[in-house]
């Protein structure tokens, strides 16, 4: 669970209950199951995380397999894996058999493969078959998210009969997804859907075929989790069926798993945008070297790319040595390009993730970013010019801006009147060009990555900044050559 991380003030139950539960464990473990039956398994999992290893084993034993399975589903992943690997395969099999097939598959997927095989071999054969089938799907796909147990009824049943069927399933204690009830045709293909509420609202004499919706919104087993999330969000669903190409219902994805998937996807996107590989584990839990590995790759690539700024500057050593003042503004103009590029990239990657913008819309984005860049660049250019002028006015006697000091060495400055005006113009116009280029480059990068088959979310702020740096430098020096030609250069 990605969200087992509420601070204590939000989970008072756990902190309050821990001492009582420890006392019960020591004094009368046989009453523990009854005493805790009103408590949400998520809260019991919080308590379990406060226990030591032996206490945890005793606690789950005392709860009994069904309830212990509920608690395990909410337990911290690392602790759960450790626990299931420490007990015997038979004990572990008894616990995971009580889980819904999707949770069972997810949990076995996390633990050591050899252990998982041993546990699987102890699971009843039908449950084993289903679990192995789910394990075969990519855990980020609809197939990996679905549970295979859901409720379907025959379309020609009466509402009352169907309701009796549903009540029988609910009473069986199995954990079928039951927000929606499905109907299937003679070939076993999914034919209709109704909510439990619609079933309850139906007049007593009605037939299921009268009330079921025949347009069933569904997803394919290979749909990725982002698509599942979009469908669920789009149609305000609490569960979506997974349907094979031949129309057979393979399982159901419930909204709680989709929320977890959305949160994980968002964490990945944020980390990628920060300029690294997604960690795939909580920050405080991942090993230091595993984390460094995820960060070092992009940092190295970006560093090597950035060495081209040095190459670019070598082409302008002549200008730099004549007008060293130019060097002083390099960080300023470069960062403005990176910042405007970062804005544009964050806007477009997010709009692409939400499908507000498709690859074919690239020219519409250009049509917005070009004027935006020019206007933003003009604003920044004006600020830059005002700042340089203000500087000159405030510090004209003790600062080098009024001088072209470089060619004679630092101790012998030659005042050239109006130098600061020329520098202000250079910085101002360079900012217009660089911010415009930054906005365009930052907005186009996600399109280019997607077109090339990469994840557009890899368009990170540091990547855009690096790409814009090299061009930004060139723009700056070209503007300087034009404006300073014949005076300082």
Residues 185 to 204 in contact with a copy of itself, rule: CB under 8 A? 196-198, 200-201, 203
Nearest to 116 by CA among 95, 92, 140, 145: 92
Task: Tell me the number of residues near a copy of itself by CB under 8 A.
Answer: 141
Q: How far apart are CA 270 and CA 276, in angstroms?
A: 9
Give the nearer residue to a copy of itself in terms of CB position, either 334 or 479: 334
Give the E-state strand segments of 173-277 in sequence order.
Answer: 177-184, 190-195, 239-243, 249-254
Stretch that binds a copy of itself, among 38-46, 47-55, 109-117, 142-150 (CB under 8 A): 38-46
Give the nearer residue to a copy of itself in terms of CB position, either 116 or 483: 483
135 binds a copy of itself (CB under 8 A): no
Q: From residue 385, how far is each of 435, 440, 482 by CA, in Å?
A: 15, 23, 17
Binding mask 53-92 for a copy of itself (x = CB under 8 A): ----------------------------------------
Dihedral angle computed from the Cα positions of residues 156, 162, 166 and 168, in that order, rounded to the nearest 10 degrees: -110
Q: How far apart are CA 434 and CA 373, in angstroms?
A: 9
Region of residue 188 (phi > 0: left; psi between -120 and 50: alpha; otherwise: beta): left
Q: What is the 3-state secondary structure (H, E, C) of 99-161?
A: CCHHHHHHHHHHCCHHHHHHHHHCCCHHHHHHHHHHHCCCCCEHHHHCECCEEEEECCCEHHH
Q: Tell me which of 314, 396, 414, 487 binds a copy of itself, using CB under 8 A.
A: 314
Q: What is the 3-state secondary structure (H, E, C) of 404-453?
A: CCHHHCCCCCCECCCHHHHHHHHHHHHHHHHHHHHHHHHHHHHHHHHHCC
Give the nearer residue to a copy of itself in terms of CB position, either 57 or 350: 350
- The pair of three-digit structure tokens given for residue 141, joined into one six-digit string: 């796909």
Site for a copy of itself in 331-390 (CB under 8 A): 331-332, 334-336, 338-340, 342-351, 354-358, 361, 364-365, 368, 371-372, 375-376, 379-380, 383-384, 387
Q: How far apart are CA 470 and CA 306, in angstroms?
A: 8
Give the nearer residue to a copy of itself in terms of CB position, either 89 or 402: 402
- The pair of three-digit structure tokens given for residue 53, joined into one six-digit string: 């290893």
Stretch that binds a copy of itself, among 40-48, 58-66, 181-189, 240-248 (CB under 8 A): 40-48
Q: Tell me which of 266, 396, 414, 487 binds a copy of itself, using CB under 8 A.
A: 266
**Is 196 in contact with 217 (CB distance < 8 Å)?**
no
Site for a copy of itself in 231-260 (CB under 8 A): 231-238, 255-256, 258-260
- The pair of three-digit structure tokens given for residue 439, joined into one six-digit string: 């906005």
Q: Is the dihedral of CA 10, 16, 18, 21 positive or negative?
A: negative
42 binds a copy of itself (CB under 8 A): yes
Stretch that binds a copy of itself, among 118-126, 140-148, 241-249, 320-328 (CB under 8 A): 320-328
310 binds a copy of itself (CB under 8 A): yes
Q: Tell me which of 295, 366, 389, 416 binds a copy of itself, using CB under 8 A.
A: 295
Give the nearer residue to a copy of itself in terms of CB position, either 302 or 416: 302
114 binds a copy of itself (CB under 8 A): no
Number of H helices, E strands in the chain: 23, 5
Residue 91 CB, nearest approach to a copy of itself (Å): 25
Give the nearer residue to a copy of itself in terms of CB position, either 133 or 139: 139
Give the nearer residue to a copy of itself in terms of CB position, either 116 or 348: 348
Give the nearer residue to a copy of itself in terms of CB position, either 248 or 368: 368
Nearest to 451 by CA among 331, 350, 346, 361: 361
122 binds a copy of itself (CB under 8 A): no
Nearest to 65 by CA among 45, 32, 95, 96: 95
406 binds a copy of itself (CB under 8 A): yes
Q: How far apart are CA 138 and CA 106, in angstroms?
A: 11
Residue 232 CB, nearest approach to a copy of itself (Å): 7
Stretch that binds a copy of itself, among 22-30, 91-99, 105-113, 455-463 (CB under 8 A): 455-463
Neighbours of 171 (CB within 10 A): 8
Residue 238 CB, nearest approach to a copy of itself (Å): 5
16 binds a copy of itself (CB under 8 A): no
Stretch that binds a copy of itself, among 21-29, 53-61, 180-188, 466-474 (CB under 8 A): 466-474
298 binds a copy of itself (CB under 8 A): yes
Stretch that binds a copy of itself, among 51-59, 123-131, 182-190, 454-462 (CB under 8 A): 454-462
Gyration radius (Cα) of the chain, Å: 32
Stretch that binds a copy of itself, among 18-26, 77-85, 114-122, 211-219 (CB under 8 A): 211-219
């Amino acid at each position: 669970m990605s969200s087992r991380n509420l601070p204590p003030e939000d989970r008072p139950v756990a902190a309050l209950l821990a001492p009582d539960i420890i006392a019960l464990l020591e004094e009368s473990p046989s009453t523990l199951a009854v005493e805790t039956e009103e408590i949400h398994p998520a809260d019991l999992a919080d308590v379990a995380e406060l226990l030591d290893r032996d206490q945890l084993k005793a606690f789950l034993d005392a709860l009994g397999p069904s309830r212990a399975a509920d608690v395990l589903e909410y337990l911290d992943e690392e602790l759960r894996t450790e626990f299931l690997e420490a007990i015997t395969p038979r004990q572990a099999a008894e616990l995971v058999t009580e889980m819904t097939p999707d949770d069972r598959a997810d949990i076995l997927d996390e633990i050591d493969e050899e252990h998982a095989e041993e546990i699987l071999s102890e699971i009843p054969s039908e449950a084993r078959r289903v679990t192995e089938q789910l394990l075969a799907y990519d855990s980020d796909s609809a197939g990996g998210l679905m549970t295979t147990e859901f409720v379907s009824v025959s379309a020609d049943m009466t509402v009352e009969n169907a309701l009796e069927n549903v009540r029988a399933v609910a009473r069986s204690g199995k954990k079928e997804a039951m927000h929606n009830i499905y109907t299937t045709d003679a070939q076993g293909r999914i034919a209709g859907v109704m909510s439990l509420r619609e079933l309850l609202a139906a007049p007593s004499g009605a037939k299921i075929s009268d009330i079921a919706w025949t347009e069933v919104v569904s997803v394919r087993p290979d749909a990725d989790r982002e698509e599942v999330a979009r469908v669920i969000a789009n149609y305000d669903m609490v569960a979506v069926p997974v349907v094979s190409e031949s129309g057979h219902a393979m399982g159901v994805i419930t909204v709680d798993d989709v929320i977890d998937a959305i949160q994980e996807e968002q964490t990945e996107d944020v980390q990628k945008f920060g300029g690294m590989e997604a960690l795939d584990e909580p920050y405080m839990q991942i090993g230091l070297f595993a984390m460094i590995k995820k960060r070092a790759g992009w940092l190295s690539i970006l560093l090597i790319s950035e060495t081209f700024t040095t190459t670019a500057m070598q082409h302008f050593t002549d200008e730099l040595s004549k007008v060293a003042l130019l060097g002083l503004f390099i960080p300023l103009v470069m960062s403005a390009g990176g910042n405007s590029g970062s804005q544009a990239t964050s806007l477009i990657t997010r709009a692409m993730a939400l499908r507000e913008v498709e690859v074919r819309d690239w020219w519409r984005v250009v049509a917005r970013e070009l004027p935006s860049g020019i206007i933003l660049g003009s604003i920044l250019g004006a600020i830059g010019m005002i700042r340089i002028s203000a500087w000159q006015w405030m510090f004209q006697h003790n600062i080098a801006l009024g001088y072209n000091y470089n060619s004679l060495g630092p101790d012998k400055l030659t005042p050239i009147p109006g130098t600061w005006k020329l520098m202000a113009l250079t910085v101002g116009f360079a900012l217009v060009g660089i911010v415009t280029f930054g906005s365009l480059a930052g907005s186009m990068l996600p399109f280019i990555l997607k077109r090339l088959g990469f994840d557009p979310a890899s368009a990170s702020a540091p990547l855009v900044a690096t790409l814009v740096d090299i061009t930004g430098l060139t723009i700056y020096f070209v503007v300087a050559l034009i404006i300073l030609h014949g005076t300082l250069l």
